[in-house]
Structure 1
Amino acid sequence: MLNGTVENIAKNTLLYSFVLSQPFAVYAGSYPIFENKTLLEAEQLEYGDHGEAVRILQYKLNELDYYEDKVDGELGVLTEHAIKKFQRDHNMTITGQADTETIVALIEVDIDRNIKRLESLSDSVYPGLQSEEVKIVQESLQYFGYYEGEIDGMYGPLTKKAVEIAEEKHDIDFLDQAPRQSLSTMYNEEKEQATSSVPNKSTSNVKNVKIDANYSSIIQTAYAHVGTPYVWGGSAPGGFDCSGFLQYVYSANGITIPRTVSDIWNFGSSVDSLSVGDLVFYQTYKPGPSHAGIYIGNGQFIHAGLDGVEVSNMSETYWQSRYLGAKRISGN
């Protein structure tokens, strides 16, 4: 890994060249970058040293599975041993001292680890998704200074913007929406399950997969618009907002519903047991029902989120904590 002089390695290190080219204000709020700069400026750390640079060194060694003790900022025997293990694994002179060569190598390995994390998850995350995988991606994007938001696992506008920078900088291709094939397959499986078997007394969750002819058509219409961008006040295929999407889908199937989420909430009939085709409501940016989508089975719903029409999981922390209830719309 370390070919050439230490100076050349340092100059060619992505993060090193980045932080040296930026004023303090740029990286001050982006902790991973700032920490790497602090570590590089230490130049050499050895037994008995203590302070912030040692703490960062211990943390990085821990992240790379070389150090398992407390991150306390004291370079003692265990930290020295971890440095030696790292040096041995990377064909370096084993001294137990974190000199410039060791520090640069450590950062390069850390950079490579974060790039590989982004590459490995590029086909697993997409706008609108909330998951642990998104959290990992956000952490790696933050490492490079591309992401400035909260590590919340929600693939929203800030994550999308950071992903676009990573795509350009590292030649990584992320999904730009939920895979259409998987959505189609999911819907067909639900429909087949609902229509190919006759419920019996031992079936306890029949209503969770029930789809009558009318709701089947509504869900098909909704799926046809997955990927349509979010537009405030939008109610047409060129762009939807939350309630505009619902109104359009129902109107396309001959059913008229109100325009706003709160009015739709009051318009629908309350249900005790959630069925496919019911509308699920959430309290988001203001008190009361302010967001809604169509339940499609398997704990998922389709809706017009900030990243466009997408499928989300009701069990995700964000949605679960904001769930208000479900309503059923009858044909008119």
Structure 2
Amino acid sequence: MLTSGQLQHIVKHSMAYGYLLSQPFSFYVDAYPLHQNEVFEQTDSNLTYGQHNEAVRVLQQKLNYLSYYTKDIDGTFGLYTEHALKQFQKEQSLKPNGQANQETIVAIIKTERNRYLAPLKTIDRTYTIGETGDGIKSIQRALYYFGYYKDSIDGIFGPKTNEALYYFQVDHDLDVKQEINHQVVTALTEKQEEVKPPTVKTTKNQETTQQTTNDQTIHVAQKKAEQETYQSDQLIATAKQYVGTSYAWGGTSPSGFDCSGYINYVFNELGVSIPRTVSDIWNSAQPIEQLSIGDLVFFETYKKGPSHMGIYLGNHNFIHASESKGVSIASMDIDYWQQRYLGAKRIVVEK
């Protein structure tokens, strides 16, 4: 993981990206494996036989890539999906109950990640434009996994691979060169993501009251009777304390955050309890006419509607928990965030 506080994000800079944005969610989630994990993050319960949804479809696709599932990827959790899941669980020394619980999903994510990134360890030379080889295939797969490359894995260091490489180098403050060198390989292999089940944080001596804003409910937890609101400077200072914290699927504590878990934790530190998921926070918060420091900024990433968020810092910057860089600061002027920006809202605590 690179130095904290840099302008980081997962960029989808392939030539196919503009096309992907116009497609339905079922098409989009096929594009980049790392972003598929966000679908699991939004799932409140285990995936089990009989269900039909996007999370099941992602589960099938990952099991297919890992060579456990060979049937149609249709989002229906049937007998073949259950059988494939049991086979995976057995080989991972998990309870083979055929249910995709948190432990199983974490194992799937880790196994898939290793499958994409492990081959990078065998690269011991520099490749330049025009060269071919298995090492270039490994780089293409890794860039695809992280959302930079969306073309055929052909082992040819051509314009498409060079374009993906360029944006990866720019986004990670690497020397921009038209070559696959040790610096690039190291940056890819060090992009580690801690994956763990969600944790529930409880805070003592908090009294919860309820307010309604625009027909939505928001809960306000007060550590002290006089602490009925928060200041934006306090919010920003608290948020910045966790810069550099790693990303963790389902994470809600400083040992690892997902995007909404991070926002939830920061507000909770100020005595304000907000909903857990991005969509619920969007529905609960108050619409605003003018963006101010401390407001929440929302983005449409892997599906229609709000699916990612951060806290606005001013000067077109925001702080968030990124899957690729953990808690970090990013610029809203970057093309990716501009294209996906939905709007801003504010958490208002009334006395």
Give me the TM-score of the superposition, normalised by structure 2. Answer: 0.41
Larger radius of gyration: 1
- RCO (CA 8 Å, sep 6+): is it higher in 1 or 2? 2
Give me the TM-score of the superposition, normalised by structure 1. Answer: 0.43
